[in-house]
Structure 1
Amino acid sequence: MLKSNPVLSKLLAFFGISALLGALGAGMLLPAGVLAGAAAQVGTEMLDEIPAELNEEPVSVPSKILDQDGNEIATFYAEDRTPVDLEDISQHMIDAVIAIEDERFYEHSGVDGEGLARAMVHNLTSDTQQGASTITQQYVNNVLVNYQNLNGLRTTVSGSKSVPDKVREMKLAVAIEKEMSKDEILEGYLNIVLFTGRTYGVESAARLFFNKSAADLNIPESALLAGLVQSPNALNPETNPEGATNRRNLVLGNMHRHGFITQEEYDEAVASEIELDMNPLPSGCYHARDGFEYFCDYVQRMILADPAFGPDRESRQRMLDRAGLEVTTTIDSELQQAAVDTARRNVPAGENEGVGSAMVTVQQNTGNIKTMAQNTEYAVGEDLPDGQISMNFNVDHEWGGGGGFQLGSTLKPFVFMAWMGAGNSMRDTVDASRDNYTGAEFPAYCLDKGHANVTGEWNVNNAIGDMKKTMRADYGLYWSINTATVAAAYETDLCAITDITTAAGITGAGPDGGPLDPSHPSFTLGAYEVSPLSMASAYSTLASGGTYCEPRAIESIVDAEGNEYTVPPIQCSPGALNADNVKELNNTLTQLADDRISQGELDFPIAGKTGTNNFESSTWFVGYTSDLSTASWVGNYRGVGEDYTLRNKTIGGRYFQDAWGSLIAGPMWVEYMKVAGPKYDTDPFPEFDGPTGDVSVRGTAPSPDDDDSSDNEDSSDEGDASNETESSQDDESTDTANTESAADAEAGAEDADTADDTEDTED
């Protein structure tokens, strides 16, 4: 019998190159005619005793997305693997894999001459085949396959190796044995080898099949896993229990024969039934923590768009699947769960076709996203049941959103910011009596002619009667009076308004995106479709005294090797809006939020504004404290027209004859803030130095007038003004912003008396 030879060159000298190739050819079932050519391929360089170089890459390790406190949100992997030290692997597992894969592992130096000779003789004289690869050779092969996978090269898996491949593998095994200890090789092997499917390494295999650590594997469990290495998928005990049992018992026999277990232990293990406790590791955002799926999707898209993680989307996905990234995000799990629960409780998914809800929170002075929630179930595919959708309501189309929702009156505070920027005060009056702007020219310094023309008929109406009169600006904003807002815009400059909306980060959410277009005066009443995230960030500019911070979701990224990657830093623009004007505006918005939204339910300072579109298919409340800004949205994500209205629907157990921001989105915001507010700072807002005072609306509210709100007879006595007129847009698609021509945009105003908004009305 041939003795085990520690050096490959001595083995080659003993056999001769032709004999070795013959043995390899027989072992690999190669046709005899191939061997002559193979000998030439191998060449004398294959016999060089200089150690070959093993191209290594870090083994593929799952990546994790974490919340701000390090708690796991989701996992991504191409290979489910959790590397562990050898000391954290059961001795039974170590013994089992040596017994079945390489009984002379601690004796040879990388290549087992005795095993190679035995395999050669067996394979030439028998119908069955034996392999002769040592654990070291298998480790080398797995390292090579890992390198090839990561670099898009030809993969030399078992059954596809050429003779030169095999000789190179043997040479590398000898070289590795000179560089690594036996325990290091064994540890590397047990962490890299495939056990089944996409499960690699003994720790992940132990968790998958037995829901335990590799350190806790007993004798029959260890034998079962060791047996899988030969044919990881065919011997899967979940799908082939008989084959897995037979293979396990073969391993147990080897363990007994080589003295790793006693006769009693062998008998007990062979007699035992396979008891699986399957615990697969889910991968991707679909399997993220409940309620975190849409935020996970947003983070994944951010990574896949970042050149820091590769030159193209495919390479970035490979990085996410294989590099063991720890992506620490800005999300606050406690607030996220509160937002998800609130969104689902108030607007149950699937209760009404296409009716959704969303809540997104950003932190002032950082832009950190603390929550991103919606009521629907995250799902990918076509013809999904209502209430299941992959579209993220909170973000722009670019990041997985559908295109945003019409803003309604939530845009009006920024119109009045421009009004103050022109030298006015919220205590000054506007001529809200004017309701016809047909043919009017609105100042717009950035347009070619210096103004925007209303080329069609535009009649502006209000939902509340007796409001077409001169009034203070703060009074007009408090009651969301359309004629007051348009009058302020007419006396200001449309480009000055869009300068402010751009500075506050308000952009169209659709595929074309971009800043709001001042060419159409109707935009001042909230006709544009914008994402809740953009609005939460814009209102945080009001909360912070004028500083705009770009929203960010990722705090840090570190890979499995400890390398840190550059992520978008906190990017804030102090002075984006005039601080004094913000203070004066907040005087109105705090009263609005206190009187008409909170109604005493929150005992800390708040501010904000409601909004509803023409057809009451999109309702808002965007509110803030000194530390958090949250956009609350409820609407129909399938469209904006009359067919998609929320009127006359029962939503979350409540019947809504009228659907306004103050009735749906506002109370949802208050419920959520009962959890969110106390956790973060709720300092008083800085006071305006100049005169402000009460907007003189507490107590008695204006009453509706049938002449001005003929479609809104049921408005409450506490009702506020319409969010916008029919001039918003005719297009009912939620995926396109309101950018049609001025004539088209304003032509719909003819029907304003029968389709005006009635948002912000309270019970």
Structure 2
Amino acid sequence: MSLVRRATSTTAGKILSFLGVSALAGLLVAGLFLPLAVTGGATAATGQKMIEQFPAELREEPVSVPSRILAEDGTELATFYAENRKPVELERISQNMQDAIIAIEDERFYEHGGVDPQGVGRALVTNASSGSQQGASTITQQYVNNMLINADMLRGEERLTISGTKTYADKLKEMKLAVSVEQDLSKEDILEGYLNIVLFGGRNYGVEAASQYYWGVPAAELDIAQSATLAGIVKSPNGYNPETHPEASVERRNIVLNSMLEQGKITQQEHDAAAGSGLDLDVHRESTGCISASQAPYFCDFVTHEILANDAFGPDVESREQLLNRGGLEITTTLDTGLQGRAQQAVEKTVPTGDDSGAGASLVTVEPGTGNIKAMAQNTRYHPEEDTDAGNTMLNLNVDAAQGGGNGFQGGSSLKPYVAAAWLEGGRSMYDMVDASQDHWPAGSEFQASCLEGGSTAIAEEWKVNNVIDDMKREMTADFGLYWSINTVMVNMAEELDLCDITDVSTRLGVHRADDGEPLNPANPSFILGSEEFAPMTQAAAYAAFANDGEYCAPRSLVSVKDTDGEEYDVGAPACEQALDPEVVAQLNETLTNIAHRNAEEAGQPDQVQEIPMGGKTGTNNSQSSTWYIGYTSGLSTASWVGNYTGLRTLADVPVNGTAHEDFWGSTLAGPQWFDYMGEAAGSHPTEEFRTPQDSPFDDPGSRDRYATGGDGTEPGNEPDRPGDAAESTPDNPDADTPSDSEPSTAP
């Protein structure tokens, strides 16, 4: 309902002609409970001057209304409010309620013009003769006062015109506006506005929210006793709250019933029945925020961070938070409820919430071509009482620190496709031979890095690199080395390249550190083996470019945001750009799709899943505390992560979901978790064939026979015993007992 749609009087004439200056001064005395001695001509003259300075129009400000976060299909995920309010039209408020509020708050509501002289006179006599303090505010004045409070809240003003704090000027302004409002709005409009804005105890503003809260019924169905109870609360929302002060509430309710009887609104029989009844509360508490989300609480948390960080919703965080809690926003997001449900089932199946291992499991899905976040799940419970043993945490495992996450997780071998992409961009082929026999670099060894001062970076200490799989320190194709995730292949490839070319590729794909948002640092060559920490969503979005011919789209969660007036906020369109040449991606996909199909076989996936066009890569950090499987189809890109989110404590030989694994690789749980989820999810989204390279170096790109050879496609060799990750070298675990070495340290 619009409060005031046009300007009204610009002078004090309307009020003065209605009451007279001296009467207005008397009203002020009654309203403010000032001593009788302050009345008189001087007061009247002062009051007239003040009145002339006040606006005659009640400035329209939006009434506080809860905001809602919705999934893409309109499913409500969560509500946010400072005031629990559900505005309704007067026709949807029972006549009992209308009669009750008028009977106790303003019995001459339909007779006066905004200020009630008879009520003021009574208050004046009572205040002067008894020393008690009795007010004379009409429903219209109370409506104006509530609107002023609402406006102050929205403008962030500290002093509110609440009862007991009003000044002489406050009361004058309130009365002038009340008369103005009466001349602009109908009585029905005023009553409707009042019943939708007034506080009924707790955070329940408006009769509909209060009715639903206390009894679980709409305002249209309020009976006489319930209506009288709510009407009684208005005088003291805390003191007469039926939930916290039931005896006082009943006493006040019966006073309201007496007034209704005296004014002929109810019969004696109806009065007696209502007065003899109990409160019969059936409280329906409404929780606010992501803690009460129907599903996807961590995604909900991510969305709130997006709102609070976006200047489209206000100039600062405080104003954006006010808008979220009071602005009645309808926030439609990218979340797919079907995918979200499958993702949540998959992570809890992999590592149950509160598992004794303390391990975390997460899945996040990004749509290639849009960046839309379709699912975001983890096996912990979104709860403010941090208790990792019980699985409680507010930490979002899938996102950056600035978005509600932590410092991220070491990426391990999941970084190797970026090295391969730079290799291909340099005009090389995945069939080119790489001498992977070199496994150590002496102190002072330099790697080309043209973007750094001097054009290179030197390692300060000897760097030794090992592989998990034996007999791999030899010559082989780049394709073979990526397929079996051979560390020495990647480092030797990087030495042939410019490290800045590799970081340029990763930066174009949106890859950045989770803790500070900075891109990969070419000054430390160990980044190529995944020593840096990333958020799973970052990796899912980067790999989505492999699914979409090299087009990278920044992750996005907001589809549309509009307020109660239908005004739309600019949330932006998908932010996409061509990050890699389609031919480079096509050649890279020949290897990554073979990896994914091998992983599908190892995970025991049925034929229909194994036949889906898909690519992917595992990753494991040095301590085996962070494991990955990032895979994609043409329609969905998903990062699956399983690890220790409280530190670098290894999960090798630790019972996770009741089973201990001697070695804890990306293929141990993260890979099966991805297939458990995507095996069902892929069927509901596109799974088209990827682009075929124009000039593939392989006669049969889909054949995996070449991976059982010595690596050059001609000489027989030993097939690896364990087709898993290569363990990575990391900076934070020098005492690791896995078959790898510490990372290089670089000169300042």
Deviations 1:488-535 (A, max 9, x none): 112222111111111111111113x31111122221111111110110
Deviations 1:205-236 (A, max 9, x none): 11111112111211111111111111111111
Mark the runs of 5 or more structure 1 residues left unpaired by the alignment.
Answer: 1-5, 704-714, 733-747, 758-763
Partner of 2:182: helix, strand, or coil?
A: helix
| Contact 1:481 1:720 survives alignment (8 Å) | no
Deviations 1:178-226 (A, max 9, x none): 1001101111111111111221111111111111211121111111111
Match of 2:438?
A: 434
The worse-fitting range, judged by mean Cα deviation, of 276-285 and 45-54 is 45-54
Q: 1:636–1:504: structure 2 CA closer, same or farther, 3 Å change rule?
A: same
Code of the residue aligned with 2:597 in structure 1: it is D
The worse-fitting range, judged by mean Cα deviation, of 104-113 and 381-390 is 381-390
Partner of 1:495: helix, strand, or coil?
A: helix
Match of 1:461?
A: 466
Deviations 1:654-680 (A, max 9, x none): 222211001110000111112321111
Q: 1:468–1:164: structure 2 CA closer, same or farther, 3 Å change rule?
A: closer
Deviations 1:561-587 (A, max 9, x none): 21111113211002x112112111111
Q: CA deviation at 1:718?
A: 3.1
1:555 aligns with 2:559: yes
| Distance in 1 (alpha carbons) for counterparts of 2:255 and 2:17 | 33
| Distance in 2 (alpha carbons) for counterparts of 1:41 and 1:386 | 69
1:274 aligns with 2:279: yes
| Distance in 2 (alpha carbons) for counterparts of 1:493 and 1:7 | 81
Of the candidates 16, 19, 23, which is equivalent to residue 9 of structure 1? Answer: 16
CA RMSD for the aligned pairs?
2.6
1:186 aligns with 2:191: yes
Partner of 2:252: helix, strand, or coil?
A: helix
Match of 1:499?
A: 504
Match of 1:630?
A: 638
Q: 1:36–1:399: structure 2 CA closer, same or farther, 3 Å change rule?
A: farther
| Distance in 1 (alpha carbons) for counterparts of 2:41 and 2:384 | 52
Match of 1:594?
A: 597
Of the candidates 691, 699, 703, which is equivalent to residue 697 of structure 2? Answer: 691
Q: CA deviation at 1:477?
A: 0.8
1:152 aligns with 2:156: yes
Q: 1:556–1:444: structure 2 CA closer, same or farther, 3 Å change rule?
A: same
Q: 1:638–1:170: structure 2 CA closer, same or farther, 3 Å change rule?
A: same
Q: 1:413–1:266: structure 2 CA closer, same or farther, 3 Å change rule?
A: same
1:533 aligns with 2:533: no
Q: CA deviation at 1:701?
A: 6.4
| Contact 1:414 1:500 survives alignment (8 Å) | yes
| Distance in 2 (alpha carbons) for counterparts of 1:660 and 1:65 | 37
| Distance in 1 (alpha carbons) for counterparts of 2:262 and 2:366 | 65
1:143 aligns with 2:147: yes
Paired residue total: 714
| Distance in 1 (alpha carbons) for counterparts of 2:720 and 2:432 | 28
Partner of 2:660: helix, strand, or coil?
A: strand
**Paired residues for 1:238-637 under 5 Å:** 238-290=243-295, 292-352=296-356, 354-380=358-384, 386-438=390-442, 439-511=444-516, 513-574=517-578, 576-597=579-600, 598-601=603-606, 602=609, 603-637=611-645
Q: CA deviation at 1:47?
A: 6.0
| Contact 2:69 2:300 survives alignment (8 Å) | yes
Q: 1:600–1:384: structure 2 CA closer, same or farther, 3 Å change rule?
A: closer
| Contact 1:223 1:248 survives alignment (8 Å) | yes
| Contact 1:60 1:322 survives alignment (8 Å) | yes
Match of 1:654?
A: 659
| Contact 1:119 1:130 survives alignment (8 Å) | yes
| Contact 2:464 2:741 survives alignment (8 Å) | no
Partner of 1:562: helix, strand, or coil?
A: coil
Mark the runs of 5 or more structure 2 residues left unpaired by the alignment.
Answer: 1-12, 711-718, 744-748
Q: 1:668–1:49: structure 2 CA closer, same or farther, 3 Å change rule?
A: closer
| Distance in 2 (alpha carbons) for counterparts of 1:287 and 1:204 | 17
| Distance in 2 (alpha carbons) for counterparts of 1:535 and 1:332 | 19
1:74 aligns with 2:74: no
**Paired residues for 1:210-225 under 5 Å:** 210-225=215-230
Q: CA deviation at 1:381?
A: 5.4
Match of 1:711?
A: none
The worse-fitting range, judged by mean Cα deviation, of 58-67 and 649-658 is 649-658
Deviations 1:450-477 (A, max 9, x none): 3332332112111111111111211111
| Distance in 1 (alpha carbons) for counterparts of 2:320 and 2:739 | 54
Q: CA deviation at 1:175?
A: 1.1
Partner of 2:724: helix, strand, or coil?
A: coil
Q: CA deviation at 1:50?
A: 9.8
Q: CA deviation at 1:388?
A: 1.6
| Contact 1:722 1:756 survives alignment (8 Å) | no
Identity %: 51
Q: CA deviation at 1:756?
A: 8.8
The worse-fitting range, judged by mean Cα deviation, of 86-95 and 591-600 is 591-600
Partner of 2:208: helix, strand, or coil?
A: helix
| Distance in 2 (alpha carbons) for counterparts of 1:145 and 1:680 | 50
| Contact 1:460 1:752 survives alignment (8 Å) | no
Match of 2:678?
A: 673
The worse-fitting range, judged by mean Cα deviation, of 438-447 and 526-535 is 438-447
| Contact 2:432 2:477 survives alignment (8 Å) | yes
Q: 1:179–1:465: structure 2 CA closer, same or farther, 3 Å change rule?
A: same
| Distance in 1 (alpha carbons) for counterparts of 2:325 and 2:349 | 35
Partner of 1:415: helix, strand, or coil?
A: helix
| Distance in 1 (alpha carbons) for counterparts of 2:350 and 2:562 | 38
Q: 1:50–1:523: structure 2 CA closer, same or farther, 3 Å change rule?
A: closer
Deviations 1:381-435 (A, max 9, x none): 5677552222211111121211111010001111111111222211222111221
Partner of 1:265: helix, strand, or coil?
A: helix
| Contact 1:445 1:495 survives alignment (8 Å) | yes
**Paired residues for 1:725-740 under 5 Å:** 725=729, 728-729=730-731, 731=732
Partner of 1:277: helix, strand, or coil?
A: coil
| Distance in 2 (alpha carbons) for counterparts of 1:671 and 1:264 | 66
The worse-fitting range, judged by mean Cα deviation, of 167-176 and 229-238 is 167-176
| Distance in 1 (alpha carbons) for counterparts of 2:44 and 2:487 | 88
Of the candidates 112, 115, 134, which is equivalent to residue 116 of structure 2? Answer: 112
Q: CA deviation at 1:752?
A: 7.3
Partner of 1:608: helix, strand, or coil?
A: strand
Of the candidates 69, 82, 94, which is equivalent to residue 98 of structure 2? Answer: 94
| Distance in 1 (alpha carbons) for counterparts of 2:268 and 2:323 | 48
Code of the residue aligned with 2:196 in structure 1: it is N
Q: CA deviation at 1:11?
A: 5.7
The worse-fitting range, judged by mean Cα deviation, of 590-599 and 42-51 is 42-51
Q: CA deviation at 1:98?
A: 1.1
The worse-fitting range, judged by mean Cα deviation, of 212-221 and 347-356 is 347-356
| Distance in 1 (alpha carbons) for counterparts of 2:489 and 2:99 | 83
| Contact 1:526 1:723 survives alignment (8 Å) | no
| Distance in 2 (alpha carbons) for counterparts of 1:579 and 1:38 | 85
| Contact 1:420 1:581 survives alignment (8 Å) | yes
Q: 1:445–1:46: structure 2 CA closer, same or farther, 3 Å change rule?
A: closer
Q: Normalization by structure 2: what TM-score?
A: 0.90
Code of the residue aligned with 1:9 in structure 2: it is L
The worse-fitting range, judged by mean Cα deviation, of 661-670 and 479-488 is 479-488
